[in-house]
Chains A and B, each alone.
Chain A
Amino acid sequence: MAAETRGLAVHPAPAGARIIGLGAHLPTRVVDNDEIAPGINSSDNWITVRSGIARRRFAAPDETVADMAVEAAAKAVANAGADPADVDLVVVATCTHALQLPGAAPEVAHRIGATTAGAVDMNGACAGFCYALNSVSDTIRAGNSKLAVVVGAERYTNILDMTDRGTAFLFGDGAGAMVLAASDQPGIGPVVWGSDGSQKDLINQRPDEEPQRSDAGLPFIRMQGPAVYRWAVTALAAVAREACERAGIKPEELGAFVPHQANLRIIDALTRSLKLPESVVIARDIVEVGNTSAASIPLALTHLVEAGEVPSGAPALLLGFGSGLTYAAQVVLTP
């Protein structure tokens, strides 16, 4: 007997999505290495040599993930010259929102004036922003959204053990946002993603083994740094090359390389593997803001563009990777 098949209606779809606005927010409190070092019996020099970090920002006591996301999102919408009431989708990539529910995105949408937007959080740890960016880009391409805001926002101080030599000096707080709009000229390339769940214990929280909690009441982040470093410098160069190929760009044609700001030594190693020439601007935001997880890529790109270091319309390679282990990368055109 012939089965009856039917399809559902779909939206008319544009050619793709493009980034039309960027925004960054950093808390005011600067914390330099000398403030962290005593707690981990270390020094400024030790921290700089291991990670390249000189200073990072810590959120104010009452400054939440949502608060920071709102600041960055509002700036991005203003930068895009858009009306927040026209935003129809807000996605917040974060892994340090203090609550399971509600997510941060509905509050962010409400507070920026995107009162009719869809809103959801996405947790991809340090790869979260690239996953979210791809997801929203595809959503626009499917005709399900016309104007969207993607935010990466983290308050790592919610899960940071200031006495842990493996993590205390690495992480910081902040938020970055991008506004995406439907466009006849796609400005967001195809994603390359993957994961390795067999290594899920390399970067994790361990509530069963550890009774102590952060001030926010959450289990601390723990990381096996050397193993993560090894994986990053060996596995990710190929991912980066593939993302460029899928976007139809040669690595040397890039205007900027914006990897997740995990560690300056990883960034430098990847730059060498990809044989990127001097013409490609390398994001090294980590020196000033530390590792801000899902916020690191939008923060770094926004800072580069605001400093005039990347011309408008230039291709930038974004490469997110981290806890899971999971990764996602794509080439985008800077607004």
Chain B
Amino acid sequence: MASVSVQAERPGGLLQRPHATTGFWSWFTTVDHKKIGILYGITAFGFFLIGGSEALLIRVQLARPDQTFLEPAVYNELFTMHGITMVFLVVMPLSAAFFNYLLPLMIGARDVVFPRLNAFSYWAFLFAGLFIYSSWFLGGAPNGGWFGYAPNSVTDPSIGMTFYAIGLLIAGIASTVSAVNLAVTVLNMRAPGMTLFRMPVFVWMGLVVQLLLAFSLPVITIGLVELLFDRLFGTHFFDVAAGGSPVLWQHLFWLFGHPEVYILVLPAMGIVSEILPVFARKPLFGYQFVVFSGIAIGFIGFGVWAHHMFAVGLGPVANTAFAVSTMIIAIPTGVKIFNWLGTLWNGDLRFATPMLFSIGFIAMFVIGGLSGVTHAVVPSDYQQTDTYYIVAHFHYVLFGGAIFGLFAGIYFWWPKVFGRMLSETWGRVNFWLMLIGFNMTFGPMHILGLQGMPRRIQSYPASLGLSFWNMVSSIGAFVIAISVLVFLINAVTSFRKPKQMEADPWDARTLEWSTSSPPPEYNFEEIPVVHSLDDLWHRKYAETEGGRVVPVAAGGSGEMASVGDHVGGDGGAGHEGGHAIHMPSPSYFPLIAAAGFPIAGYGLIFGVPAVVVGLVITLAGFFGWALEPSAE
């Protein structure tokens, strides 16, 4: 990778900025959105393996009735940690990995608008995850469910839920800050000519997701603060005897929690919206409608939260209102699905692995969406809620939906990020095993729920007749595990290939494919000027009056690296119009500022001095950040 020129150095060197952009230590000081994206991706995948292992343990315990492989205390920790991990430490950061890496490239920018803030978000996320997981060794992991309903989450004697509250607060800071950063990037850093309606759908979904984060995280922040204060300081937020209300926790949690599920799935929808057109060789059908549907889902998503609370006793008026709003939100979701079908219609479909996962996404998400609509029928939900029928629904939308979409993105952008292709053969095995295993695991859960299996139970008796489908489900989980192993093999062996990838191996449509694979640190030799949606495609192909699509002569634009060039991994230092491109320097301070938070967190649990130490470190980090010399 090109090394950037040395920065101004202050005598005394305390606030000297590091300069290396290559090498092991450069990963700790990087402010390059691409490296940060890779960090998010690797970390999220690591947590995926851990969260998946937790799921396997759960499925072993539930494979047969009346098993005592896991006692209730451990089982409760496992399902809680599985939920926290998958939601906050896997799907969210994996989406963040894609947003970080791709948003600047897709809008023709060189980086996000606040690169050090970007690094800070990553380190805060990493420390939050490590903090929560350290609880296993420091007194007990969170055990009150990922949803942490009060009063149980307050009264449970284990320290675990305190780790939960503090850890998620730190993660929330990371995500809020990142949301502001990426939203401003999309709004302000677009290449000339890229109006909002020439942005790729993935960028639009990114914008909607960041705004959802910015407006939903504060609500759960307050919920978590109130939970933490009740646990640590004897306050009465959820104390019924003092006049408090446990239902308040639920409102605060779900006011965040429902937008959160759209935060989890919209990125994958954006990814699929990019991949389908490439492998159908035609544009996304109904671009504006897909965009507007995403925006509508974002808005309406703030109005459906109490559909998680139908059985709480809010009364028929509230239940009616939320049943209706929940049904309404199905409409824009359906619009998206129909537009994806329209994209496939009359296409020239090629089933590379990204396309397989994208089609799998559509197929699985439809099932999850339909079961979701059945929940909106409140009197039926009285039977379905808190059973495995719900577990089936959300795994269909979050695994069959979000995870499949993210895997599609991994296969699609792997050559761009790492300069090598993942193997198609292994990819096919990965996909089919995952699809089969997934349906084996979660399909039967619809039946189990309706036949009387509640959620979050460590065991069930043989007399309920739930044994057969539980066994099928548990076997399916191991098939998923094998499919993930296949992916790991694919990923690792891909690095044995030489790093020799063209800019645009898929003949794609968006700007990131116009630069080398991987891109240079400065992303583009010259910032492109955008003339239309799918600008890259229109530079490659023109439509004649008769509607024929013909390729444009290679090198026609002259402004970008030509499609089809072999650009090696190491480019020279970028030159634009004769002068060097200046990229922001790396910095220590984002990591330092982030490091104070978990230390303060430990202090809240184990002793006030650590709180002071943590806050001082964070403050010092922020001051250093503000005062260090800028990059030249």
- State whether these chains interact: no
Binding site for B on A (CB under 8 A): none
